[in-house]
Amino acid sequence: MHEMLSGHEKRCFNMFRMTQNTFRQLCIDLESKHGLLPSYRISILEKVSLFVYILSKGASNRDVQERFQHSGETVSRIFKEVLDAIDGLSSKILKPRDPEFKEIPSQIAYDTRYMPHFKDCIGAIDGTHIDVIISEEDQLRYRGRKGTPTFNVLAACDFDLLFTFVLTGWEGSAHDSRIFLDCISNPSLNFPKPPPGKYYLADKGYPERNSYLTPYHKIRYHPSEFRAANPRGPREVFNRAHSSLRSCIERAFGILKARWKILEKMPKYSTHDQNRIICATFALHNYIRLSKVLDPAFNIMDNDPNFVPPKAISDVHLMQEEAQQMGTNEMTKIRNDITTSLMIAKRQRRGS
- pLDDT tens for 7-60 read 667 778 888 889 899 999 999 999 999 999 999 899 999 999 999 999 999 999
Distances (CA, A) of 237 to 62, 75, 204, 303, 308: 53, 54, 16, 25, 20
Mean pLDDT check: name the lowest of 13-17, 32-36, 87-91, 132-136: 13-17
Query: In this predicted structure, what is the pLDDT of residue 13?
Result: 82
Cis peptide before 305 (omega within 30 of 0): no
Q: Where in the chain are the domains?
A: 2-93, 106-269+293-351
SS3 state of residue 295: coil
User: Whole-model pTM?
Assistant: 0.91
The rounded distance, in Å, linking the Cα atoms of 171 and 236 is: 34
- Model confidence at 313, in pLDDT bands (50, 70, 90)? very low
Mean pLDDT check: name the lowest of 3-12, 137-146, 201-210: 3-12
Distances (CA, A) of 170 to 141, 155, 176: 10, 12, 10
Instruction: Tell me the mean pLDDT in the region 284-307.
Output: 81
SS3 state of residue 156: strand
